[in-house]
Amino acid sequence: MKNNDFIKPPPKQTEDNLESELENGFEVSSQVLLAGEATVVLDRKSRIMGSNETARRLFSQEMMPGEHFLLETFLQGPYLTEAQSALDNALGKGEGTQNLPASAEDAQGNSFNCLYSANPIFGPGKQVIGVLLCFLDADYVAIQPRPFTDPDLLPQMPTLGFESLLEQMAEGIFTINSRWRIISFNQTAERITGYQRNEVLGRFCWEIFRSDLCQSDCPLRLTLETGLTRLDQDVRMLDKKGTKLPVLVNTSVVRDRSGLVIGAVESFRPLMEMQGNLDSSPHKLFPSDIIGKSAPMTRIFQMLPDLAASDVNVLVQGESGTGKELIARAVHNQSLFKDGPFIAVNCSALAESLLESELFGHEKAAFTGAVRSKVGRFELARGGTLFLDEIGELKPELQVKLLRVLEQKVFERVGGTRLIPMQARIISATNRDLAKALREGTFREDLFYRLRTVPITIPPLRERREDIPLLIEHFMSRLNKKYKKDVRGLDPKVLRLFMTHLWPGNVRELERVLEHAYVFVKGPVIFLNNLPAMDEFFQERKAEILPERRGELDRETIQNTLDRTGGKREEAAVLLGLSRTSLWRKMKQFGII
């Protein structure tokens, strides 16, 4: 590395005018800090001309311009003699010395291994006017990813690199050395915390994260002391603005090739990421974000403010795809618990043997394969909302345990004995008929009434068809941004098809059908041939709508259409391609009542 990579000396600098430069020193490039290297510039009398941020944090003496730089304040034992010799060679002979090992002491009195270089700074006529000292923490060198150097690997993996891989991780990741200094900080960590990398490198981790566990049960401290990996530790940290942020933390030690612990690595992610909702600014759901103007949806909207203001348990019922989780999030985001996490668990998606551990957590060795303790969803939801989706699938034995938690407001981890307070609101949801399940004896009556202090029933899409155009407009706005297209509407035949379809998959099915169309649409209008081709329903309806009507509609066609729509003239008119008035005239013409 060249000297001018680190400093930018002023023009025509000589020893005679160095005194005028001592107050401000040399400008040190920011890439030195990013490299983790401490840099000090000295004049011929070993007075400090300048230093970078890393040096000021690392060394115990004040790095004030004009003060003498004392090697003995941080170099130990025989290393001091060798360092003084390197300094003399640079100043006296103009010879540089590279990558000498030493044992040094930082500002807190902790010993660490380092590599240092001493390079002369030349003025006009190649006169030595100073020396550039660079110190690199050897722990930092050992912990950093190394680029591929094997020429046989380069053609096959031209873009691979451990460092670039870390940058693309969805989790925030940082590493510390054995003295608790942060030595790497990836892009996701910057985004989550609000800190830039050059603001945190070289600083103590607790200065940045300021979590509720930093001074007590710090996962990193336990990992460094025991060597054990910590998984899914629930931590409340502060971001740069001071906002409390609940995160899940994983920690592990970093060792050198000989097995010596030289630092630790921590990954962290906000709790809302567990729901797949990580955004640079997490989206908050309010009633205006739930689309609908039909009478059933209007009644739900009117309930939400009062419901959110309380802390009662809520049971959301509705068919699959109607938006039960959207309602649950809307209640959470307007409630007293809005600053806490929203933790969702699908009771039907987990194996029966895992569900209890997932809900309540477990202690180490609680069962075969439990090699470490684990935090359950009830703990993760502390101060927030726990959303139990598909609650109707819960097995009887777990129903008993859940009922006990709701009644006593405490629970135990699997294999544990410590009572943990339940500090979360419960919102549950199901697409099953729980009243029928009560009659069949598959769901406990006492649990049912505990969960449904306030019930909300979301109607299926076929019962609120007036919301379909609004939903189409909403999804098209979102899909235009996602696919960078400018689709402005649907062909009338497509709209007719959408208005008469029964939508067994409800709003979710409508969204998926539109997204399928966006993959294939080429212009501003979605046509029938852009819709899913393999769906039996659409094939059947396309066959009905695509052919042109031959001649006048007869009585039988109109009667069959009315029978199909259950006598609903508006739907029959859409399917037949008529206005309601025209259909009424035809019905009068043929005597259809």
Query: Domain extents for the chain?
Result: 3-139, 163-275, 287-459, 462-590
Per-residue model confidence (pLDDT) at position 318: 93
User: Alpha-carbon distance 501 to 254, whole Å?
Assistant: 58
Tell me which fold the domain 462-590 belongs to. Helicase, Ruva Protein; domain 3 (1.10.8)
CB 44 within 8 A of CB 132: no
User: Alpha-carbon distance 104 to 340, whole Å?
Assistant: 45
Per-residue model confidence (pLDDT) at position 162: 44
Tens of pLDDT along 309-322?
888 999 999 999 99
Q: How is the chain split among helix, strand and coil, in percent rounded to 5?
A: 40, 20, 40
Per-residue model confidence (pLDDT) at position 271: 62
Per-residue model confidence (pLDDT) at position 516: 92
* Intra-chain end-to-end CA distance of the chain, in Å: 93
- Quick check: helix, strand or coil at residue 458? coil
Per-residue model confidence (pLDDT) at position 256: 65
User: Alpha-carbon distance 72 to 108, whole Å?
Assistant: 16
Residue 545's region, left for phi above 0, alpha for psi from -120 to 50, else beta, is: alpha
What are the residue ranges in the chain where pLDDT is below 50? 1-35, 141-162, 164, 272-284, 534-537, 539-551
Q: Give me the sign of the Cα torsion angle 153, 157, 158, 160.
A: negative
Under CATH, to which class is 287-459 assigned? Answer: alpha beta
The four Cα atoms 390, 392, 395, 396 give a dihedral, to 10 degrees, of 150
Per-residue model confidence (pLDDT) at position 577: 67
User: Alpha-carbon distance 461 to 508, whole Å?
Assistant: 10
CATH of range 3-139; options 3.30.450.20, 3.10.105.10, 2.40.50.180, 3.40.50.150: 3.30.450.20
**Residues 139-146: contacts with CB under 8 Å, at least 24 apart:** 139/112, 139/113, 139/177, 139/178, 139/179, 139/183, 139/262, 139/263, 140/36, 140/177, 140/183, 141/115, 142/256, 142/262, 143/175, 143/177, 143/183, 143/184, 143/254, 143/262, 143/263, 144/36, 144/183, 144/184
Superfamily of domain covering 163-275: PAS domain (3.30.450.20)
For the full predicted model, state whether its pTM sits above 0.75.
no
Kindly state the tokens that stand for 321: 């795809």
What does residue 370 show for φ and ψ, rounded to 5 degrees?
-85, 80
How many CB atoms lie under 10 A from the CB of residue 200?
23
Closest CA to 268 of 183, 326, 185, 178: 185
Strand intervals (E) in 431-537: 454-457, 489-490, 525-526
The four Cα atoms 443, 409, 335, 318 give a dihedral, to 10 degrees, of -10
Question: Half-sphere exposure of 331 toward its Cβ, with a 13 Å CA cutoff?
Answer: 30
CB 1 within 8 A of CB 100: no
CB 462 within 8 A of CB 456: no
Dump the DSSP string for 162-175: HHHHHHT-SSEEEE
Per-residue model confidence (pLDDT) at position 535: 47
CB 427 within 8 A of CB 333: no
CB 53 within 8 A of CB 82: no
Per-residue model confidence (pLDDT) at position 138: 59
User: Alpha-carbon distance 519 to 483, whole Å?
Assistant: 8
Per-residue model confidence (pLDDT) at position 139: 53
Domains 3-139 and 163-275 share a fold: yes
User: Alpha-carbon distance 22 to 41, whole Å?
Assistant: 10
The four Cα atoms 191, 197, 200, 205 give a dihedral, to 10 degrees, of 60
Closest CA to 21 of 136, 94, 119, 121: 121
